[in-house]
Structure 1
Amino acid sequence: MNLLSGPFGKKLNLNWTTGKTLKSVCALGISAFLFESGPATAQTALQSLQQNRQNVEWADNFDIATENITEVKSSAPTLSPQTADYIAVAIDRYQRIVQAGGWGTVSGGGKALRIGAKDPRVVELRRRLIASGDLEQHAGLSDTFDSYVDAALRRFQLRHGLIPDGVMGEGTVAALNIPADVRLRQLETNMVRMRSMSGFLGDRYVMVNVPAAEIEAVENGRVRSRHTAVVGKVDRQTPILNSKIYELNFNPYWTVPVSIIRKDLIPKMKEDPQYLAKNKIRIFDWSGNEMSWQQIDWNTDEATQYRFTQDPGTENSLGSVRINFHNKHQVYLHDTPSKTLFGEGYRFHSSGCVRVQNVRELVTWLLQSTTPDWNRSKVDSVIRTGEREDVKLKKSIPLYMTYVTAWANADGVVHFREDIYNRDDIYGTGTQARL
């Protein structure tokens, strides 16, 4: 389904002198464009139009851009056997862009630009979006930020993992100004990665793409569900590995890793001695005897010699469920009480584990594939009890923790993500690209 499919998928030539109201225009245009993005994004676009209507040059053609929009999200998995071939096509296209001199830059500084603005930088933005295929050439080089530019910029943002708000802010300008030859090298590096993963991965598997901070649950060659993720910080990276999911812990206790005790818990206790009590974290020695925080010298690393356990509950760092897979790094997938992080563009906040948005949907799918007596109602019921329950999958499910910063789909849409862990070496720093 395209972003602008359906009965509104034709260009609307709107004459604002005919008395058509802003409301009717948005009903026909903006809602159709944002069908894929949902009502919240559509409302944002509507508010943007309303806020800027006084500044718009209504003589300009504010047609709703539909003709060059293809669906950015594909139902095919990122690790599809065909992805490497799609990347090869994209490489050929980007080689031609580089040979033609690449694309120009967009001036930074100044206020953020959005629909309705009139600014010389809009001309630069149009040229840049035309060069990458996000904006069709017939949209022209006007200095007015019209709906053609709005649609094209949102498409660009979606392809680059940015929040698709249609605003040319600092982060979007930075992504626009990455040179075409750098993007070409990124594609070449990731085609090697895709070739190495082109074999049979299983009828059902879970893929975590770390730089995209996204999870795919794949069944019979199609993406069953996608989940926004929060992954490891640059200094506490999520490991790249292949494993198998074998167990779920509902309403889990959380045993604080030594690294977090040292880096986070000790500093927090120095600031607030009630931190453990507020977060329902208890201290035990390795004989199982509970201790009080006053028994520990917080000015040293003594705390790392004990076990810190957080009770199940709404504030538990693992949320309502933990998903276990075999690995030597002591990491896992899990729920989180900090769900607002899923709405951020930058989602590299964890200490190596992977937080999963809408985790109950993923858990239900994992259980139904191997343990048929489980369904969403039962998952919700077990979580509601607040009591610990461990469930082993009758058949383990493959898990692939990958590092893919550039890929393409069958529609020719090319995606890029920031090389957050510096594994691509696209700037020639000498760091070997790792699979």
Structure 2
Amino acid sequence: VSHPAVQALRQRLAITGDLPREAGMSSAFDSYVDGAVKRFQARHGLPSDGVLGEFTLKAMNIPADVRLQQLNTNIVRLQTFPEDLGRRHVMVNIPAAYVEAVEDGSVATRHTAVVGRLSRPTHLVNSKIYEVILNPYWTSPRSIVEKDIMPLMRKDPTYLEKNAIRLIDGKGNEVAPETIDWNGEAPNLMFRQDPGKTNAMASTKINFYNKNGEYMHDTPQQGLFNKLMRFESSGCVRVQNVRDLSNWLLRETPGWSRQQMEQVIATGVNTPIKLATEVPVYFVYISAWGMPDGIVQFRDDIYQMDGNAELALDTTAGMEQPVQ
């Protein structure tokens, strides 16, 4: 395609080093421009499709002084990091929506993640991972019982049974759903989902110390990891290929090879495993950073913490309401 506007695009991409100067300033959207747009998209956390869509255009139109301010803001955040993060540690970067397992200064595994939405943000923590649970139970928060499960039970009295959710009273006894008035107030009972394929946490739950009841986990909704905006949980972090992360976490815990882990998951039996050595975990908010090769990365300011409205992202439009 040839269009006069491509000259302005070439100039913009050349200034930020995404397009080699020798590519020239013609009006042709050629392979040089296609590659430059993809490079720009990759360092802004956008799908590298070479298409100048709404989000790519928005990122390109943020002024350089605003980006400089964003970098300065994040330098201050980086300076608050502990000097020694630990030989083995896990880094969860919320704006980037990814998880990295780091060992001896190198990334051992990197995982796409789904983090909390603006109205229910994932909290920043410095903590330690102490446990991996295979085939976890999922206990529904009170808010989901009231807003989701009660109306669903009015429509379909078999909903709990279909989703393997049991009602447990304060003494640990199971309560039959048919004894509850689903048109009244939500009962003061635990709504606990059995392990299995329908479980909201699927195969794995990773626990770390925190006061917010948050954790990392698997999900039966694997398609969520393909989405552009992965900011729609209620605070917990869903991790793609979580078994790779669990395998790395359990490597120093005797008796837990990948094969043994998979065998236990296949049984469907709830199995909590304490880590032999607790692994530091850092939930951080870094929306701009430089890479060792000199390339600068930027992400949307999803929780509006960078102090400039141009950097924020409206994540409410068209969002489905998550289960948890």
Give the TM-score normalised by structure 2: 0.90
1:367 aligned residue? 250
Equivalent residues of 2:146, 2:186 under 8 A apart: no
Taking the aligned partners of 1:365 and 1:421, their CA distance within structure 2 comes to: 30
Give the counterpart of 2:237 among 354, 362, 365: 354
Give the counterpart of 2:111 among 212, 223, 227: 227
- Pair 287,156 (structure 1): closer, same or farther in 2 beyond 3 Å: same
> Does 2:78 align with 1:194?
yes
Post-superposition offset of 1:246: 0.5
Aligned partner letter, 1:224:
A
Q: Map residues 25-424 of structure 1 onto 2, 5 A cutoff.
A: 117-197=1-81, 199-270=83-154, 272-298=156-182, 301-303=185-187, 305-368=188-251, 370-424=252-306
- Most deviating of 236-245 and 172-181: 172-181
Post-superposition offset of 1:379: 1.4
**How many positions carry a matched residue from both structures?**
311
Runs of at least 5 residues in structure 1 that lack an aligned partner in the other structure: 1-116, 430-435
- SS of residue in 1 equivalent to 2:265: helix
Equivalent residues of 1:182, 1:427 under 8 A apart: no
Post-superposition offset of 1:428: 9.6
Post-superposition offset of 1:277: 2.7
Post-superposition offset of 1:269: 3.9
Equivalent residues of 1:249, 1:322 under 8 A apart: yes
Aligned partner letter, 1:131:
I
Could you list the per-position Cα deviations for residues 160-219 of structure 1 after superposition, in whole angstroms to 9, with x for gaps in the alignment?
111111111112111111121111111010000111115111000001001110001000
Kindly name which structure, 1 or 2, has the bigger radius of gyration based on alpha carbons.
1
Post-superposition offset of 1:270: 4.8
Equivalent residues of 2:98, 2:110 under 8 A apart: yes
Taking the aligned partners of 1:400 and 1:173, their CA distance within structure 2 comes to: 32
- SS of residue in 2 equivalent to 1:323: strand
Runs of at least 5 residues in structure 2 that lack an aligned partner in the other structure: 312-324
2:317 aligned residue? none
1:47 aligned residue? none
Equivalent residues of 1:204, 1:398 under 8 A apart: yes
Could you list the per-position Cα deviations for residues 325-345 of structure 1 after superposition, in whole angstroms to 9, with x for gaps in the alignment?
111100101111111111111
Equivalent residues of 1:227, 1:357 under 8 A apart: yes
- Pair 147,198 (structure 1): closer, same or farther in 2 beyond 3 Å: farther
More strand by share: 2
Equivalent residues of 2:134, 2:205 under 8 A apart: yes
Give the TM-score normalised by structure 1: 0.68
Equivalent residues of 2:145, 2:186 under 8 A apart: no
More helix by share: 1
Taking the aligned partners of 2:171 and 2:208, their CA distance within structure 1 comes to: 27
Percent identity over the alignment? 53
Taking the aligned partners of 2:40 and 2:179, their CA distance within structure 1 comes to: 56
Taking the aligned partners of 1:413 and 1:250, their CA distance within structure 2 comes to: 39
Taking the aligned partners of 2:208 and 2:149, their CA distance within structure 1 comes to: 26
Post-superposition offset of 1:300: 5.3
Equivalent residues of 2:168, 2:189 under 8 A apart: yes
